[in-house]
Chain A
């Protein structure tokens, strides 16, 4: 692709940052299950899935570094909480297992729809990385789909907790596929091959089947405007946790 004009480059950088921050933050939340998941297999699974997500974030921050000259480690660990651009869905703490599974289901399926679109991006490095990430994310989808069905079929308190989580998270989940800033620029450059609204429509169609079949709540309503720009006390806490090591010895390499 030809040289990007500054406005388009900034829009591309902002788009990459949203995806990178989504992956980093869900990776950190769910890595908290390491050692305390409901069973040993899930200790391993959640650790592995989280390592994938944080790895995806690292690759995206590196891409952002190439594009903007910013240091990838600084992007990940030296920003203030309100400089993060993850979706409101990822502002919630991990809570209980049903909540984690409900959120993972909503996030993974939305992320899959987004990666499918980004794999067709005119910005080659992003298209290549998205294609690669999709291969890995299928394991995540398979894992969370199995758990969603298992919890939904369990009945009783287990199912109630899952339903409550999906009800609470539905609106915020829509925000994962909000139109990015300067979407028109991204569309005209082919960086985004289709509007995010159509990605969102495809995602809702895709999850409508399984959620309907299991009689579970489907995301509805309107996402919180500007939700990627402000984050609550839960994220402030997580931010403190995830930057603890880098803050303890500024400039250290590891």
Chain B
């Protein structure tokens, strides 16, 4: 019982940490928190990068370490970058998808499977976060950060970004 409540406190603290690149969404809603293991002498958190080369990984690692150290649930805090399981855009929570949309980012479409080299149709139609239209075009599969693509809404004529499906 005691352990369960400590774990709950850790998750609550993690929910307060915003994604450094898209502050509207927390690291928990973004799905980058993997296994959390609370022991008597240490708390261990797996951090699952969205993209391998994401420059915000170090910032997240530091923020999580600082916040959990401050929480004081264990003398040692370990935040380890892990690819097990690999982060996919399906890890973004329903609440996270809604927060993305509300701040002008189209949430990702369902993550594509990785069965073959020929499966290149990874980009689905994005829904405009402003007017909800699916009459949108992809301007660039690459955007201002590794995880974002650039789109245009034919309906309300707004440019917008999508969190990429991965």
Chain A partners chain B: yes
A contact set with B: CB distance below 8 Å: 41, 44-45, 47-49, 51-56, 58-59, 109, 112-113, 116, 124-125, 128-129, 131-136, 138-139, 141-143, 145, 206
Judging by beta carbons under 8 Å apart, are B52 and A129 in contact?
yes
A48 with B143: in contact, given A129-B83, A134-B114 (CB under 8 Å)? yes
A139 with B114: in contact, given A52-B52, A129-B83, A131-B83 (CB under 8 Å)? no
A–B pairs, 29, beta carbons within 8 Å: A41-B139, A44-B140, A44-B143, A44-B150, A45-B142, A48-B142, A51-B53, A52-B51, A53-B53, A54-B53, A55-B53, A56-B53, A58-B52, A128-B82, A128-B86, A131-B83, A132-B52, A132-B86, A135-B88, A135-B114, A138-B114, A138-B119, A138-B120, A139-B142, A142-B123, A143-B141, A143-B142, A206-B117, A206-B118
Q: Which of B86-128 contact A (CB under 8 A)?
A: 86-88, 112, 114, 117-120, 122-123
**Cβ contacts under 8 Å, B82 to chain A:** 128
Q: How many residues of B contact A (CB 8 A)?
A: 29
CA–CA, A144 and B68, complex, Å: 43
Min CB distance, B7 to chain A, in Å? 25
B164 within 8 A of A: yes
Min CB distance, B161 to chain A, in Å? 12
Min CB distance, A201 to chain B, in Å? 14
Q: Please give 11 more A-B residue pairs, beta carbons under 8 A apart, in addition to A44-B144, A129-B83, A139-B142.
A: A41-B142, A45-B140, A48-B142, A48-B143, A55-B51, A56-B52, A128-B82, A131-B86, A136-B51, A141-B117, A206-B118
B41 within 8 A of A: no
**Cβ contacts under 8 Å, B144 to chain A:** 44
Closest to B140 in A: A41
CA–CA, A52 and B143, complex, Å: 12
Min CB distance, A128 to chain B, in Å? 4
Min CB distance, B50 to chain A, in Å? 10
Judging by beta carbons under 8 Å apart, are B120 and A51 in contact?
no
B54 within 8 A of A: yes
CA–CA, A125 and B122, complex, Å: 25
Partner of A55 from the list B52, B88, B122 (CB cut-off 8 Å) is B52
Judging by beta carbons under 8 Å apart, are A136 and B52 in contact?
yes
Min CB distance, A28 to chain B, in Å? 13
Min CB distance, B116 to chain A, in Å? 9
B28 within 8 A of A: no
CA–CA, A125 and B141, complex, Å: 29
Closest to A139 in B: B141
Min CB distance, B112 to chain A, in Å? 7
**Cβ contacts under 8 Å, A116 to chain B:** 117
Judging by beta carbons under 8 Å apart, are B164 and A52 in contact?
no
Closest to A113 in B: B117
